[in-house]
Structure 1
Amino acid sequence: METRTEATRQIDEAKQPQPQSQDLKGTFIAVLLVGAVILLSWFGVFGLFLERA
């Protein structure tokens, strides 16, 4: 009976999804690049505004 319980426990553990380690470095770099583009364009438009005023 003990081996049946052990086998059942192993099957139950195998069915549970294992947590995956996610590497988010690429996502972080992409977000930084998009933020830099937005900031540069904002400062560029602001500089044009100051020149024309």
Structure 2
Amino acid sequence: METQRNTQSETKKSPQTQPHQENLKGTFAAVIIVGLIILLSWFGIFGLFLERA
């Protein structure tokens, strides 16, 4: 009985399709902008630290 179920379930499987590719250019740009803000802030604060030392 189980072998019949296995063969029936194997034949009913849908064909494998490639996943949908999303456009991530906007996400990449946002990450770069946030990274630049963090780096500029860090260097600005580091400059203040060196100036006061």
- TM-score under structure 1 normalisation? 0.64
In structure 1, the gaps of 5 or more residues are 1-8
Structure 2: gaps of 5 or more residues: 1-11
Q: How large is the RMSD of aligned CA atoms in angstroms?
A: 2.3
Moved over 4 A (4+): none
Structure 1 residue 17: Cα displacement = 7.1
Identity of aligned residues (%): 66
Q: Distance in 1 between matches of 2:47 and 2:25?
A: 33
